[in-house]
Amino acid sequence: MTNSAIGLPPTRINRRRSTKALHDFFSRPFTQRRSQSIAGVRVSPRISVAPNCISSKHGINMSNTIEISITIHDFATTETAKEIICELYENETECEDKWTKVGTSSPVRFSRNIVFPDKFSYQYVFEKTQLIKAVFSRCSERDRPSSSSSDILATSIFKVDELIGSFGLQLRRQLQRTGSIANALSGTQRITEEYLGGIIVSAEMPEKEQPIVVQFHGKSLDRKDFLWDETAVFFRVFRLEEGKDDDSLIFLYESEAIKNHSHPQWAEFRLDTQDAADNRNRLLEIWVMYKDVDGKEGYIGKFLTTYAKMKYGPGSDNVYSVINDVKKAQKKSYENSGKMELVKFTDVSFYSFLDYIVSGTQLHFEIGVDFSSPEPVHELDQRRFDGELHMAIRAIGSIIRDYTPNRLFAAFGIGAKIPPTFHESNEFFLNFSMDPICRGLDGVMEAYRKTQTMVTPLKESKLSPVINYVTRMSHRSGFRGLHYHVLALFTRGEVTDLKEIQQALNSASDAPLSILIIGMGDYDFSPLQKLCSKRKDGRRDVVQFIHLKSLLNGAEAPWLNKSRIAETALRQVPQHMVQYMHNANIAAKPPIQVCRSPLFHSSSLIPDKPTEFDFELTKDIRHVGIEIPSLMPNLILPPDLSPRPRQDRRGSDSQYLDVETMRGSLTVRVPERCHSVLQTSREQYQRRLKERGLARMKFPRVELSTLESSGGSTQDSSL
């Protein structure tokens, strides 16, 4: 374990290159060395820390922690104040009186555009509906917010899922005098009389630990005594920093002691990349030592290596001779004091579910409804089934939909006789069209209600056909790592294809897919529960069974039941997705900003910035003769279309094309170049422009020398 992993400063050893001083120094136990000045060596003792002292910041899992920052733009309030303050509250319920304070910012001078420098640390949980309320109020003379409600200038409520699912970790919301949870959960923004401006909510992820995993084996290391040697051999790793007067060694790691000098095999260990490889050619000095039964330590030798050299991996290039400078100076025939061999070196990047989501991975929700029933269904039971089904779909879908830009869901029917021939089917589209896609959760429920009046339930059903279909669909969904599917199967009948389901689950373990089998009603689901609990060696977990009846409580509020369903059903999905990504060797990429433009669909094209609309009554128009008659009549482009150097992908200020109408009533700013999740080629981009009626739009062709001089990319040339 490294000192940096436990939040302690690394031990520093300052020494001059005096081999005799080192030899004399190592004759003393390491634990007895205080900060002392010896001729040539000064060592600070290693600090030992109890294991229970190791904890993450504030006891929070840092892999799911985000830092939220708030910015106000176009503050349109009529009230004035010298300074205002921002208070952040969280709520995981639908009750207005359950807000819990997250933090308070420092006072900021009042203006039309305000940037709050403070960041709020927040713990993100995927399976919960987390609400955030930002309250902006006057600041009192003591730099504290006023407790009076009349001093509250504006508020805004948003969902954390919307912030995370925006892919750019940036969300725009409107300011109002008072906000409500109902409006925030509806997902719609309506400009009312209370509109006071807007806020930009940004989130950042803390810097991740990126360790390297290293393992050494020794060979023929020198012993203290040739015959009666009971010492144990170990090694210490230091980072070498060369100075003008003396060198500085920073302690990084100490291995376990092994009583085997001929071929010791130490366990693998981790070094933080910032400590061991802040420079790829940073020298690492490794001391090989021994320890006797009394705890006294002795020096065998040392060798030097670098991160860049170890990155070549095991092999002849990473077999090191352990050199003892004292013995080398005394014996002319001295070669070495043994060998050390690198047997493992791995750059490890531990990506979490949150890392993949913010890097562009979209979640897709598929639904399968089993209409079969082993017994005739009474009208009261059918109403209860419909109500529970509606609640469960809403509970799960309301969370996943924030991670699906187009909010389109595939829905399937199982276990029914379907028209027009009324043949038995265990795989049909719920909307009875050529495509199983339904628009929104309302579209899914509408398709279910219509299908229920058209089909005849069976007594038995088979779930494997739908599982196989969604598995194939997930493989065809697009570029690997950018799409992950969640299939929810609702059944109340007798499932007869358990063996086929097991085979389908084995196939699904290699697909970007998680499966939720939800039992409805009082039927005995023990065979399905046993099937879902089976684990096969070498295959990742992909399925979870939920008995819905055990989660419902009629005496509680509906939102409590919905919250319990969502938490139970979605708790394992992040783990399933991370396992798939790791098994497929898919690394998380830098965050991608997605904006839903009316001209370019967000599921295929990702512009650097959204299309901007500017409504004006009168405007001077400059004619350049470039027309787009199929989209907007008499559109023209301004002549100044010279490219500007592009910044990084996140938050870059890309080139826009200002498109104006002849009457001057509308100005549309269209991104000149859009980034595609699938790395859209030039030909694909031209084809999409043609499909949207922009085939006649001409972009300026720029010479390569112009781009190179401006720092741009050759990919930003004209189409």
Q: How far is CA 208 from the centre of its chain?
A: 11
Q: For residue 248, what pLDDT is reported?
A: 81
Number of Cβ within a 10 Å radius of residue 65: 17
* Phi/psi at 424 (5° precision): -70, 135
Cβ contacts of 534 within 8 Å, gap of 6 or more: 502
Amino acid at 540: R
Residues 387 and 403 reside in one and the same domain? yes
Residues 227, 217: contact at Cβ < 8 Å? no
Q: Is 410 exposed, middle or buried (0-12, 13-18, 19+ CB in 10 A)?
A: buried
Residues 301 and 378 reside in one and the same domain? no
Residues 292 and 165 reside in one and the same domain? no
Q: Can you say whether residue 133 is alpha, beta or left, with left for phi > 0 and alpha for psi between -120 and 50 degrees?
A: beta
Residues 324 and 289 reside in one and the same domain? yes
Residues 308 and 257 reside in one and the same domain? yes
Q: For residue 422, what pLDDT is reported?
A: 92
The 3-class SS string of 46-103 reads: CCCCCHHHCCCHHHCCHHHEEEEEEEEECCCCCCCCCEEEEEEEEECCCCCCCCEEEE
Q: Domain span at residue 440?
A: 353-584
Q: For residue 589, what pLDDT is reported?
A: 77
Residues 170 and 225 reside in one and the same domain? no
Q: For residue 227, what pLDDT is reported?
A: 55
Residues 168 and 184 reside in one and the same domain? yes
Domains held by the chain: number: 3
Low-confidence ranges of the chain (pLDDT < 70): 1-63, 140-149, 167, 187-195, 209, 225-229, 243-245, 280, 348-349, 536-538, 591-686, 688-719
The encoded tokens of residue 315 equal 């092999």
Of 323, 347, 371, the residue that ends a domain is 347
169 domain-assigned = yes
665 domain-assigned = no
Closest CA relative to residue 657, chosen from 616, 718, 601: 718
CATH code of the domain covering residue 278: 2.60.40.150
Distance CA 51, CA 381 (A): 56
Residues 356, 588: contact at Cβ < 8 Å? yes
Closest CA relative to residue 438, chosen from 415, 410, 468: 410
Q: For residue 494, what pLDDT is reported?
A: 86
Of 548, 568, 584, the residue that ends a domain is 584
675 domain-assigned = no
599 domain-assigned = no
Of 296, 318, 347, the residue that ends a domain is 347
167 domain-assigned = yes
Residues 153 and 221 reside in one and the same domain? no
Q: How many CA atoms lie within 13 A of 331 on its CB side?
A: 11
CATH code of the domain covering residue 561: 3.40.50.410
Helix (H, G, I), strand (E, B) or coil at 166: coil
Cβ contacts of 112 within 8 Å, gap of 6 or more: 73, 74, 75
Residues 373 and 493 reside in one and the same domain? yes
First CA to last CA distance, the chain: 54
pTM over 0.85: no
Q: Can you say whether residue 123 is alpha, beta or left, with left for phi > 0 and alpha for psi between -120 and 50 degrees?
A: beta
pLDDT digits (tens, 9 = 90+) for 210-269: 778 899 999 988 887 655 667 889 999 998 887 656 778 889 999 999 888 788 999 999
Distance CA 323, CA 65 (A): 46
Distance CA 401, CA 210 (A): 32
Residues 197 and 215 reside in one and the same domain? no
Residues 362 and 484 reside in one and the same domain? yes
455 domain-assigned = yes
377 domain-assigned = yes
Distance CA 268, CA 277 (A): 18
Q: For residue 25, what pLDDT is reported?
A: 47
Residues 414 and 533 reside in one and the same domain? yes
271 domain-assigned = yes
Number of Cβ within a 10 Å radius of residue 614: 11
